[in-house]
Amino acid sequence: LKVGILISGRGSNMAALVEAARDPAFPAEVCCVLSNRPDAKGLEFARERGIPALLIDHKAYTSKAEFEAAVTEALVAHAVDFVCLAGFMRIVSPAFIERWHNRLINIHPSLLPSYKGLHTHERALADGVKLTGCTVHFVRAEMDVGPIVAQAAIPVLSGDTPDSLAARLLTAEHRLYPLALRLIAEGKATVNGETVDIAADAV
């Protein structure tokens, strides 16, 4: 699988995917990292690892359609056939999702379908839940809805703050995202009991 990773900031999940893919036995290769923000820290990491680090600043485009067309063009130019969103802070349009149907996944910091959207940890703490976690899912037109590939749960501890919870969850995210990508690349991902055959969705 030839993977492109879209980021907007820190890029720690992207880094976890890049590190996992350094293992020759890992069934996916990271072809490029693309950010919509010039100041994304993750771009430096990619560059240091010799991975093409691309900047496509959404502010340089007059419409989302033009921005996304440029993103798709850059991904295709780098031979990408599968896209991982990793802290990419732009909502992608239905057209982009359709273009990458079943070839576009995201990691979200909650146990979906609970806590879609932003501020997941604040809301989880306010509700007093005792477990939270992260989810890797295929992207569909509705935000944070889509076939779940893999999840990991962590306990909420007394005294947790949104920041402490986010930090503890992040280590679980860094294990989960490579695991989920591996499952997909090996044709072992199942959704509602059915194997996901990404080869059926030709690019």
Q: What are phi and psi of 91, to 5 degrees?
A: -75, 125
In whole angstroms, what is the distance from residue 24 CA to residue 6 CA? 22
Q: Any contact of residue 133 with ligand GRF (CB under 6 A)?
A: no
Q: Any contact of residue 112 with ligand GRF (CB under 6 A)?
A: no
Q: Any contact of residue 9 with ligand GRF (CB under 6 A)?
A: yes
Provide, rounded to whole angstroms, the least separation between the CB of residue 194 and ligand GRF: 25
Q: Which strands sit side by side in the sheet containing 148-155, from one edge to the other? A: 53-55, 29-35, 2-7, 82-85, 104-108, 131-138, 148-155
Contacting ligand GRF within 134-153 (CB under 6 A): 134
In whole angstroms, what is the distance from residue 181 CA to residue 106 CA? 10
Contacting ligand GRF within 69-98 (CB under 6 A): 86-87
Contact 109, 173 (CB under 8 A): yes
List Cβ neighbours of 173 (8 Å cut-off, separation of 6 or more). Answer: 12, 13, 16, 107, 109, 134, 152
Give the count of residues interacting with ligand GRF (CB under 6 A).
14
Interface region with ligand GRF, contact rule CB under 6 A, candidates 3-11, 65-73, 151-159, 186-194? 3-11
Q: Which of 58, 78, 101, 108 is catalytic?
A: 108
Binding site: what residues are annotated?
11-13, 64, 89-92, 106
Which residues are marked as active site? 108
Residues that bind ligand GRF (CB under 6 A): 7, 9-14, 86-87, 107-109, 134, 173
